[in-house]
Amino acid sequence: DTEVTQTPKHLVMGMTNKKSLKCEQHMGHRAMYWYKQKAKKPPELMFVYSYEKLSINESVPSRFSPECPNSSLLNLHLHALQPEDSALYLCASSQAGTGHPYEQYFGPGTRLTVT
Amino acid sequence: EDKVVQSPLSLVVHEGDTVTLNCSYEVTNFRSLLWYKQEKKAPTFLFMLTSSGIEKKSGRLSSILDKKELFSILNITATQTGDSAIYLCAVEGTSGTYKYIFGTGTRLKVLA
């Protein structure tokens, strides 16, 4: 099973709203990722958690706040977003550790629209 | 600066044709190269390549890596309309950082 699930599938929010995106995997992966993908562009890395600790933050604005409550769950808290933040938000996971490179699997994504 | 370049940017073929997609890279401390197929939503994992010259194969798709010349190719034989998608290449460098750099993708359209 190589399934990563994400909820919700679609989200429309105003610029003053607070919302959260959720990602879950049960593959025992210890690295989890958030990517942002705009139309006709490749995914852009936002955050990486390894062993539930934030290991990469690609200079993402503070209106995006990641959280990894346990090894299976990854959240992205959203607050005071701008219309240009509208995009497909993808979660991914992989095994972790420096021993070997690992395959990375994506969830179906959340299509976010900021009005 | 690490870089991944895919070519061509787009391609239109007819069913039954064979296509070759290219991915070249310049990264520090190469670890792996991954190929994905993206239709309407999330990228679907196809292959991971770590060693030169070893072909990975799945049905009509195959891929190979050349670490000396820093590129990989993805071949699709006997193309079908269901192969229409964007094919993404991602490279991981710098051991253990989990940082995958994506190319801009090749948009493939297969006509019936």
With residue A25 as reference, give the H or E element that holds it. Answer: strand A18-25
Statement: residue B81 has pLDDT above 70 = yes
Q: If you measure CA to CA, which chain A residue comes closest to B86?
A: A40
Task: Tell me the C-alpha distance between A16 and A12, whole Å.
Answer: 12
Q: What is the pLDDT of residues A62-74, one digit of tens each?
A: 999 999 999 999 9
For the CA atoms of A90, A96, A99, A101, the dihedral, rounded to the nearest 10 degrees, stands at: -20
How do residues A79-104 score in pLDDT, each as one tens digit? 999 999 999 999 999 998 777 778 89
End-to-end CA distance of chain A: 37
Residue A1 has pLDDT above 70, yes or no: no
Report the share of chain B in percent with pLDDT over 90.
Answer: 78
Across the interface, which of A44, A50, A107 has its CB nearest the CB of B98? A50
Question: CB distance from B93 to chain A under 8 Å?
Answer: no
Task: For residue B79, give how far its alpha carbon lies from the nearest alpha carbon of chain A (Å).
Answer: 23
B45 close to A (CB below 8 A): yes
Q: What SS3 state is found at A108?
A: coil
Which residues in chain B touch residue A55, judged by CB atoms under 8 angstroms apart?
Answer: 97-98
Q: At which residue do the structure tokens 């009005």 appear? A: A115
Residue of B nearest to A10 (CA): B41
Given a cut of 80, whether residue B94 has pLDDT beyond it is no
pLDDT number for residue A100: 72
How far is A112 from chain B, CA to nearest CA, in Å?
13
